[in-house]
Each structure stands twice: as C-alpha cells, then as structure tokens.
Amino acid sequence: MTRHVPWDPWPDVRWDALAIVDGLVFEVPEGWRARPVEPGIRLERDDHAVSIDVRSFSGDPTAEVVRRLRDRPDALVLESTDDRVLVALPEPDDVVIRELRILRDVRVRVAVECSARDWPGAAAVVDGLLDSRWRRPLDEPSTGNRALAAAAGPGATLPWRTPVGVLDQLMRFRERGMVPAAARRSGTGVVARELGFVGRFGGLTDKGHELVGPVVDHDALLVVESSDPASDAPPLRWACWMQGQKCVVRAGHEDGSESLGVVRPGSLVAHLLRWLDVDPVESVGFGEPVTITTAQYEDRSGPCPSDVVWFRRAWAEPRWRSVNGWSHQAGKGVHGLFVPGVGALTRESGDGTITLRPERTAVVVRGAVEGVNAFVGLTDGARQQR
C-alpha cells in the first residue's frame, strides 16, 4: 500500500476511514458507514437508502446481471463493456438502476443498486472512490460486452402505437360530442376509435379523457428533441405532460408513428431512456478533444477536418443524433450527442466553434436521469398546492 501514499499532506487523510478490498484502497466518504461482508465491504449511506458493495471476485462478475436480465424483458441495458454495466429496471412507480464497475487489475467489483432518484449521487460517490489519491482511473478504451447486451429485452414500453396526429385530434375535438364525419373516417380518427379513445360519433370516452386531461391541465411539461445537426429533417420529439401523479407521454419514432401512454412519474425515466436508444456496446469513452467550426458541425459533407482517430470514425458516420430538451417549470433539461460506432460525445460551443470530446455513455445517461429527476420532483410541490 505504501506506493499509493503521497507525501503531500493536503488534503488531510482520514486514516481511520480507510478501507481495503484486495488491491483497492479507498476512503469511506463522510455520511457513509462501512461494514464487512464476504468477500469485501458494504458502504451504507447514513439514511440507509443506498448501499455500495465493494467485493473481490474470482469468476465472471457479470454472471448475476445476465441471470436477472433473462427474467426481466422490460430491463434496459444502457452500457455494457468489460469495465462497466449499467441497467435500468422499471418498477410500477420507480426505476431501479443497477450499476457495476469492474476493476479487473485488482479483481474487485463495485456494485450499486438503487432508485433512479438516488443513483446520480451514488454514482458520483463511486467516482470519488475510484479517482482519489489511492487510485487513478485507467484511461484505456473499453471493450463492448455484446453477449450481456443481447441478453436484455426491449425495455419499458408505452401501451399504444399510433400514427402521428392521434393525440392532436383528440385535443382538437375534446369538447365535441359529435365530430365531423371526415375527421372520424380519417386515419387518425379510425385508430382513435379502435383504441377506445372516442365513441361512435367521435366524442371522447373516459379512456380518451384520461389521456387528454393532463395535456389540457398540466403542472409541468418536458419536451425533448432528437435531430441530426447536419440535416434539415424535422426532429423526433418526446414529450411528457405531468399532472400530479399522472404523466402522459408521447414518443415519436423514425417510422413516422408515435407511442402514447399514461404512466406514473416514478417510471418516467425508463421511458425516456428507452426512447434515447443509446448503444450500450459501442463507446470510445475517452480521447483528445477536437475543435471544428460551427459550419463544419452543421454540414459534414466536406473532408474530415481532423486526423484524430475517433473523430475520423465519427465523421464517416452518415447520421449523428443531437438530443436537447428542457422543462421551464423544472429549470433543467436533457442534453446529449450520440454517434454510431463512437458513442456519446460532450459538446462545448465557442465563438463560431464547437469542441467535441468522447464521453462514457453512463455520464450522459446520468445527466438525462438528473433532468428527469428534477422534472418529477415537481410533483410533490404540485400536490401540496392542489
């Protein structure tokens, strides 16, 4: 252990808070307690809401995750590499996040399983454990674990798949007991009747009112758009209208259809993460930043402006996905940039320039979860005002 101990006395070492699991030395964070478990240590937050298991391993550290995925077709794998696994497990009014960090050099695994509401903070604690005076993260490319990703199901699904415009038509005629025949016989009108949203003459049924009510009188709205910055094609949109403990979600798809559903606020993050459709396997994860002009970012038809390997791979991809969303009521949003074969990128705008850098998929997912958490957190305040 002596080779890890620096002579610089700052910051002060809390010697009584050090823990060791095989070759991993770390400091127990303030607000957490450590207790021994076989074969390692469990960290528990003082409120007992979150725990972190730090244990040695000898076999396949992902075997337990694969077994659970086979029993949960609604599970969504967000990252699947040789050093990290990230899974979202939907519950009726919550989403459980399972994160596994694998330190193969010291044969230690660090596992967190908690509500999505607590996961961003818990993940930040794990980051601190693994990036300290006792250990530095290895800046090495990860290898995708395709076998684990293939064991997962489709993730959380919304119940109704419709052509574009069904919800708009319900909104348009929501106060009409009888709807014009042309609207009833249109494609959207026929689907609305087949799904039970409207009756024989086009008026809303109870089921239709349940879908339309939160859209008409919502406490908060979150809209997320996905588009290619170099394309003029209209963006795909994901929207959620929240009214108390009801959320109406509309998710646009590339085939021109939409999914609709009424869900609980706690499960909302699972539906957004599925719609984001991140590749859990292909992720560069780190690399030197590349700065290009805004014009090049918005028109990638010319020659590649950089010799950096990851960027040349990204430039050759015909489609990038820029994700941007915002809730004015929550004051927070969802942002990300995804490139097939490269993974997530962070983006910084300058004076006529854009700087791009590869990022771990889990970091971008964490930002999306934080945005949804802030949005869902409005429900308590709205409930108190009603």
Instruction: Parse the chain into domains and list their residue ranges.
Output: 2-150, 156-217, 218-243+255-386
Question: What DSSP element (H or E) covers 54?
Answer: strand 51-56
Do 322 and 226 contact (CB within 8 A), yes or no? yes
Question: What DSSP element (H or E) covers 4?
Answer: none
CA dist 171 to 18, 166, 237, Å?
Answer: 60, 9, 18
Residue 13: pLDDT band with limits 50, 70, 90: low
pLDDT, position 87: 95
CA–CA gap between residue 32 and residue 68 (Å, rounded): 28
Partners of 53 in beta bridges: 42, 111
What pLDDT digit, counting tens, does each position of 363-381 carry?
A: 999 999 999 999 999 876 5
User: If you average pLDDT over residues 5-16, what whole number do you get?
Assistant: 56
CA–CA gap between residue 13 and residue 285 (Å, rounded): 31
Q: Is the pLDDT of residue 140 over 80?
A: no
CA–CA gap between residue 286 and residue 215 (Å, rounded): 41
Residue 334: pLDDT band with limits 50, 70, 90: very high
Look-up: residue for tokens 């967000």? 78
Residue 16: pLDDT band with limits 50, 70, 90: confident
Give the Cα-Cα-Cα angle 255, 259, 260 (nearest 5 degrees).
Answer: 160
Do 78 and 278 contact (CB within 8 A), yes or no? yes
Cβ-proximal residues to 367 (8 Å cutoff; 6+ apart), any chain: 334, 335, 336
Average pLDDT, the chain: 89
Beta strands, E only, 155-314: 160-163, 220-227, 236-243, 246-252, 257-263, 290-293
What pLDDT digit, counting tens, does each position of 149-192 carry?
A: 888 888 899 999 999 999 999 998 887 777 788 888 788 899 99
CA–CA gap between residue 194 and residue 188 (Å, rounded): 10
CA–CA gap between residue 109 and residue 57 (Å, rounded): 7
CA dist 106 to 140, 141, 203, Å?
Answer: 16, 18, 65
CA–CA gap between residue 299 and residue 319 (Å, rounded): 11
Supply the CATH classification number for the domain 2-150: 2.60.120
User: If you average pLDDT over residues 313-336, what whole number do you get?
Assistant: 94
Q: Is the pLDDT of residue 3 over 60?
A: no
What pLDDT digit, counting tens, does each position of 24-64 carry?
A: 999 899 999 999 998 999 999 999 999 999 999 988 899 88
Tell me which DSSP letter residue 204 carries. B
pLDDT, position 59: 87
Would you call 277 helix, strand, or coil by DSSP? coil
Q: Is the pLDDT of residue 290 over 50?
A: yes
Cβ-proximal residues to 379 (8 Å cutoff; 6+ apart), any chain: 219, 242, 244, 245, 265
Q: Rg for the chain (alpha carbons), in Å?
A: 24
pLDDT, position 118: 96
Amino acid present at 201? F
Do 126 and 99 contact (CB within 8 A), yes or no? yes
Count Cβ atoms within 10 A of the Cβ of residue 133 and give its class: 0-12 exposed, 13-18 middle, 19 or more buried.
middle
Of 365, 329, 381, nearest to 86 by C-alpha is 365
Please provide the size of the chain in residues.
Answer: 386
